[in-house]
Amino acid sequence: MLLLTLVGMAGTTYLEVLIPVLIKESVDIALMTQSHFEQLVSICLQILGVTLVLGVFMFFRRYFATFFSQRIAFMIRNDLFLSLQKQSYSFYDNTMTGQLMSRATTDIRRIRWFFGGHLIRSFRFIFLLVGVVLSMLTMDWQLTAISFTLYPVTFVAYYVFVKTIRPIYNRMREQYGVLTSVLAENIVNIRIVQAFTRENYEIQKFSKESSKYLDESLQAVRVRTNYLPFIAFLTQIGTIAILWYGGQQVIDGALSFGAFIAFNLYLSMLLMPARFFGGFISGYQRAMAAGTRVFEIINRRPDVEDKPGGIELSGIRGHVKFENVSFSYDGSNLVLKDINLEAEPGETIAVLGHTGSGKSSIIQLIPRFYNVTTGKITIDGYDIRDIRTRSLRRNIGVVAQDSFLFSRTIRENIAFGKPDATEEEIVKAAKTAQAHEFISALPQGYDARVGERGVTLSGGQQQRIAIARMLVTDPKILIMDDPTSSVDVDTEFEIQQALQQLLSNRTTFIITQRVSTIRNADQIIVLQDGKIAERGNHESLMTKQGIYFNIYQTLYEAQKTRREGKEE
């Protein structure tokens, strides 16, 4: 596409340079006798024909240039999204959503504008500059030399302009990302903002960041207004010099009037590359600032990567073992310390602890959302760092506390982890998760859409669909982070009954506040300050009357009160 664009550009430039030559001949002929009328008509027809052909070349040049730039944007956008899909949890822990959105949209658009506009036009003006200079030299080399006298000064001025404007554009791009992050965060959490009547605070916060972006934008405007008028002044001096010297040449008879007109047409063509150079530098600096931000992500290696020749899991039993595992999010403060834990195939491990004890951290290490800091985790004897990540996670089912459903049909949401799932598998998973009944009651059933323009589901309904989504993949290892937190007592009981058979032959790690689930677990792990403070089954831990005893008593009384309140 670039080659075709350049071919079209070469043809366009040749014809543009040819037109002043034809005008020169027509003017010189018009000033002669009437006997040259036929030649004048012929030249005018030639100009008309050249103009028509020029239009055709311009059409194809612009079409190919647009295709070229759009294709580049398409490839970069896909590479960026591919990199985002590969990044680890730690990347998203430390990166604002608005920054990512800004890079995926505005920054890529600026790159496309550069390739489709500034870069393509730079080739055009190079061709035009060469063609015009050669044509001018054939007419009058002295006049050509005068035309280029101020060009070195102009280029120096542009160079200083570039060095001054580039850091400003970099700051603008960074501040725009901050502004987008504030906007995205506010939109996502607008209900919380309104619930706590913090609208004025958020308005001031947004206005503050917006003011910073405005200040940087005005700084860029001040730089442009300081330099560009001066550069334009230099080009006008060149025009005046041509008019003065060229006029003298015509008066002395050393230059024809037609050549003088053609020379001025060529000079106006030369002004276009000179003026464009400022826009090119500005566009280049914007594209470089945007490209730096985009390729910073594209080239970023994820924290969790597969080893060469990684193991593919198949037919696993589900034996999970933690060996002296410690973990830190920031590399210095350990949230898990020397964890030793073994889950036999088919066992259910309940993980308890107060807020900040490390419950969520311990279950997020199993699918290798994060790498352990020290120690190792094995599945059926294989270190999970030696297993291919996709293979590892295909054997693990995850249900988070905050379920998220995509803006698709309920059927597509349930089959998300297994797109080729049969209708029978989807319905079976929904029935197990106690979701089939309410799905069937919807007007469109499993084809009902979830999202802003679709059906509105309660928190409990969303959670049950999330459980069905996990069950349809038939994993050997389950990780459940308080999966029944959003359902009522009756639904919780139904889900627990349905899951009982499923859990019997699967290794399950579950964080829960439900006493019924805790009591039935094969092992109960109580975490405190990142360490295993107690472990055992329900009976043995109740006998100790330690941390678990106190937690259980608190949960039991709270849920007993809840059940009694519902019965009333």
Average pLDDT over residues 453-461: 65
**pLDDT the model gives residue 493:** 65
**Residue 423: per-residue pLDDT:** 92
Assign 560 a pLDDT band (cuts: 50, 70, 90): low
pLDDT band at residue 453 using 50, 70 and 90 as cut-offs: very low
Phi/psi for 327 (5° steps) reads -150, 140
Task: Give residue 278's pLDDT band: very low, low, confident or very high (50, 70, 90).
Answer: low
- What is the arithmetic mean of pLDDT over 390-417? 85
* Average pLDDT of the residues in 387-399: 89
Maximum CA pair distance of the chain? 123
CA pair distance 154, 150, nearest whole angstrom = 6
Q: What one-letter code names the amino acid at 257?
A: F
pLDDT for res 372: 92
2-298 domain in CATH 1.20.1560.10? yes
Task: Tell me the pLDDT band of 75, cut-offs 50, 70 and 90.
Answer: very high
Q: Which of 230-234, 366-370, 381-385, 530-534 has the lowest mean pLDDT?
A: 230-234
Confidence label for 272 from pLDDT (cuts 50, 70 and 90): low
Residue ranges per structural domain of the chain: 2-298
- Around Cβ 525, how many Cβ atoms within 10 Å? 24
Q: For position 32, what pLDDT does the model report? A: 61
List Cα–Cα distances, 371 to 87, 88, 259, 374, in angstroms: 13, 9, 75, 9
Q: What is the mean pLDDT of residues 321-343?
A: 91
- For Cα atoms 69, 74, 77, give the angle at the middle one, nearest 5 degrees: 120
pLDDT given for residue 562 in this prediction: 56
pLDDT exceeds 90 at position 376? yes
Mean pLDDT score, 421-430: 91
Cβ neighbors of 416 (< 8 A, separation 6 or more) are 406, 469
